[in-house]
Structure 1
Amino acid sequence: MDQKIAEIVSFYTGYDEAGRLDRRPSFQLERIRTMELLEQHLPPAPASILDVGGGPGAYARPLLAAGYQVRLVDLVPAHVEQARAGQPPIDAVVGDARELPAPDHAHDATLLLGPLYHLQHRDDRVRALREAVRVTRPGGVVVAAAISRFAGPVDFAVTGRLTPAIVEETRQILTDGINLPGLGFTHAYFHRVADLIAECREAGLTGIVVHGVEGPAWAAAEAAAGTPDGQVVFDGALKLARVCGADSEIVAASAHLLVTATTGQSGR
């Protein structure tokens, strides 16, 4: 394991990923909208789903409850242990998105709801997407998440943390998408929409649609948290996310991007 991967594993081993999606309004929007998009785009149960980078099972568990056959692969051993230990227990193994422990065409759909966040080199991201294509049946579904290039700066601004040092970090992120450890997150890559589409095409995906997960008002929901209008603003942000979800001119305003696509008929 190289040093960068070891640091990512260490970060998540000490981080409460299992509780993350309930902690902040933007995270709650992420959970609700991701689940809605999965319900809309996955084949019907009991389809076989490979959840790559599935963490402790935030999406694998409700998919299991909905009747899907789910296998989870995650880089972090602690996440795999949590996935196996929860109820219902998840079939989970440690693995790398760039070299999946699964045979060709073994699943009806493959999820990459995390790995692209931490693969800073384009070749690695395309390799992970190609692996998703390889293990998915011809004509199957691939769903991949990415962090928007603008998510970090907006988050820092809305939470009052946009210090001079972070402004300089923002200039770097906007230039090359590379997030360096030290500002509350680990090694990461923030995508532009056009680059995400190009990577998916290079991997052999077709029918590519990019959705803005949290919608353009997620920052307003964060700013209103704890105020008398907090719930009203949150509800409005959720409605707006549903309306604007796939509008190509506004998707990048979301904190997260979600690609839905299909594999070619050859499965390659």
Structure 2
Amino acid sequence: MDLVRHYTTHAEGDRLTRTPHGRLEFLRTQELLRRVLTTPARVLDVGGATGAHAEWLARDGHAVHVVDIVPAHVDAAAELPGVTAHIGDARALPAEDDSVDAVLLFGPLYHLLTPADRAQSLTEARRVLRPGGLLAASAISRYLSLLETAANGTLDAALAPPIDAVITSGHYDGHIGFTATHWHTADELRTELESATFENVEVYGIEGPSWPALDTAGDAGFAARIDAALRCARLVEQDPLLINTSAHLLALAHT
């Protein structure tokens, strides 16, 4: 399988720490989840990789089970204190109906390339959630590569067509690294969740519009800029004119 092969040769464990904007994404995802996970919960972390979020959720007192398609990810997650893990597919979850309080889909909605597969993963998430349970689903913004390459100076004539294509269609072809994926707009993400009959869907820009500046400043400038970047992200996290300038989107919804 292409996805397993990709993550076997590309390290995932440090994705949220190796770049300034990755660290911003991590801090903001924690912040947004902690707003809604206020009491101990049974959490199914689908596509949870090596457990970057499972680890802190377990420390916060939640019972976290990671489901991932990559065996090496599952092995790493299972070593974390308070975390269990299982090999599985977002389209056929190894969990009983109405058995968990929260489902995280941090990865499946961009790795599943067809609308039918994404819809199936959402149907499965809804199946295993208890009535009133929480879904937290992340997506990659269609504008990520435009903003990244414009900020770092690599946006040239050759990159313009594939960047235009992903903005128009959502199909990302790997033009700045990573594997082929589907990238969303905030409206598309909201529509997919509502079509799966989730209620009270709220979509947030995770990093806000300043994340490319963090990467441009580099590690040396991170400490001086992170507080301003976090304030910026909070101020416009649901602004319809700026939400898609985040590198990632987070949808929160309930059954």
- Band of TM-score, shorter chain: over 0.9
In the other structure, the counterpart of 1:82 is: 76
In the other structure, the counterpart of 1:102 is: 95
In the other structure, the counterpart of 2:194 is: 201
SS at match of 1:141: strand
Residue of 14, 24, 35 corresponding to 1:29: 24
TM-score (norm. length: structure 2)? 0.95
Cα RMSD after superposing both structures? 1.5
CA distance in 2, matches of 1:231, 1:252: 25
Length, aligned pairs only: 255
CA distance in 1, matches of 2:222, 2:82: 35
Structure 1 segments, 4+ long, off by >3 Å, are: none
Structure 1 residue 174 displacement after superposition = 1.4
CA distance in 1, matches of 2:24, 2:174: 25
Residue of 198, 206, 229 corresponding to 1:213: 206
SS at match of 1:93: strand
The answer on whether the counterparts of 2:99 and 2:129 sit within 8 Å (CA) in structure 1 is yes
In the other structure, the counterpart of 2:106 is: 113
The answer on whether the counterparts of 2:145 and 2:176 sit within 8 Å (CA) in structure 1 is no
CA distance in 1, matches of 2:144, 2:104: 21
Can you list the C-alpha shifts for 1:35-68, whole angstroms capped at 9, x where unaligned? 11111112511x1000000000001011111111
In the other structure, the counterpart of 1:159 is: 152
Are positions 1:54 and 2:48 aligned together?
yes
The answer on whether the counterparts of 1:8 and 1:187 sit within 8 Å (CA) in structure 2 is no
SS at match of 1:191: coil
Q: Which amino acid is 1:41 matched to?
A: V
Structure 1 residue 80 displacement after superposition = 0.5
CA distance in 2, matches of 1:162, 1:78: 35
In the other structure, the counterpart of 1:224 is: 217
CA distance in 2, matches of 1:92, 1:161: 39
Q: Which amino acid is 2:39 matched to?
A: P
Are positions 1:258 and 2:253 aligned together?
no
CA distance in 2, matches of 1:90, 1:190: 29
Can you list the C-alpha shifts for 1:108-159, whole angstroms capped at 9, x where unaligned? 1110011111111111111111111111001110000000110122112222
CA distance in 2, matches of 1:33, 1:80: 24
Q: Which amino acid is 2:27 matched to?
A: I
SS at match of 1:17: coil
Residue of 236, 239, 242 corresponding to 2:231: 239
CA distance in 1, matches of 2:87, 2:54: 15
Can you list the C-alpha shifts for 1:196-240, whole angstroms capped at 9, x where unaligned? 11100011100000010001111111122256x543233211111
CA distance in 1, matches of 2:131, 2:222: 45
Q: Which amino acid is 1:33 matched to?
A: R
In the other structure, the counterpart of 2:15 is: 20
Can you list the C-alpha shifts for 1:77-97, whole angstroms capped at 9, x where unaligned? 111011113x31621011111
Are positions 1:149 and 2:142 aligned together?
yes
Structure 1 residue 164 displacement after superposition = 2.4
Q: Which runs of 5+ in 1 are unaligned?
A: 1-5, 264-268
SS at match of 1:40: helix
The answer on whether the counterparts of 2:141 and 2:185 sit within 8 Å (CA) in structure 1 is yes
SS at match of 1:145: strand
Select between 11-20 and 206-215 the one with higher mean Cα deviation: 11-20
Structure 1 residue 99 displacement after superposition = 1.0
Structure 1 residue 107 displacement after superposition = 0.1
CA distance in 2, matches of 1:200, 1:141: 12
Structure 1 residue 25 displacement after superposition = 1.0
